[in-house]
Amino acid sequence: MECDECRGKMTREKVEFKVYGLPVGKYDAWVCQKCNQTLFSEEVAEQIDQAAKEKGLWGLESRTKVAQTGDSLTIRVNKKLARFLDLRKGEEVTLVPESKSKVMIIR
Ligand SMILES: [Zn+2]
């Protein structure tokens, strides 16, 4: 099989699939030896989705509104995401901007 991006050679490999940085499992994929493009069959992609859902690694993205509390701005973290991050009320965290549109929460 040939890579449709760079025409490199694609080989069969077991690839560790991660969601939100956590391993979901190892799955059969075609991997380009030149550009590293990884392709999963439709069947395998469905298995990955299913496994990710079972591990709760699914749909943690959410929209939220920026509110104002005194001089500060407040961003709500919903229950599902808070549980995943193991964030607790009263806990102190550090906010570190990665860019103009991305911020990290570090503890
Ligand atoms: Zn390639």
78-97: per-residue pLDDT in tens? Answer: 999 999 999 999 999 999 99
1 Cα to the center of ligand 1, angstroms = 11
3-state secondary structure of 46: helix
Q: Give me the residue spans of the domains in the chain.
A: 10-54, 66-106
106: confidence class by pLDDT, cuts 50, 70, 90: very high
**12-65 pLDDT, tens per residue?**
999 999 999 999 999 999 999 999 999 999 999 999 999 999 998 989 999 999
* Strand 22-32 with 38-39, pairing: antiparallel
Give ∠ CA 45-23-41 in degrees, rounded to 5. 15
> Which pLDDT score is estimated for 27?
97
Q: Alpha-carbon distance 48 to 38, whole Å?
A: 14
Residue 9 CA, ligand 1 centroid: distance in Å? 7
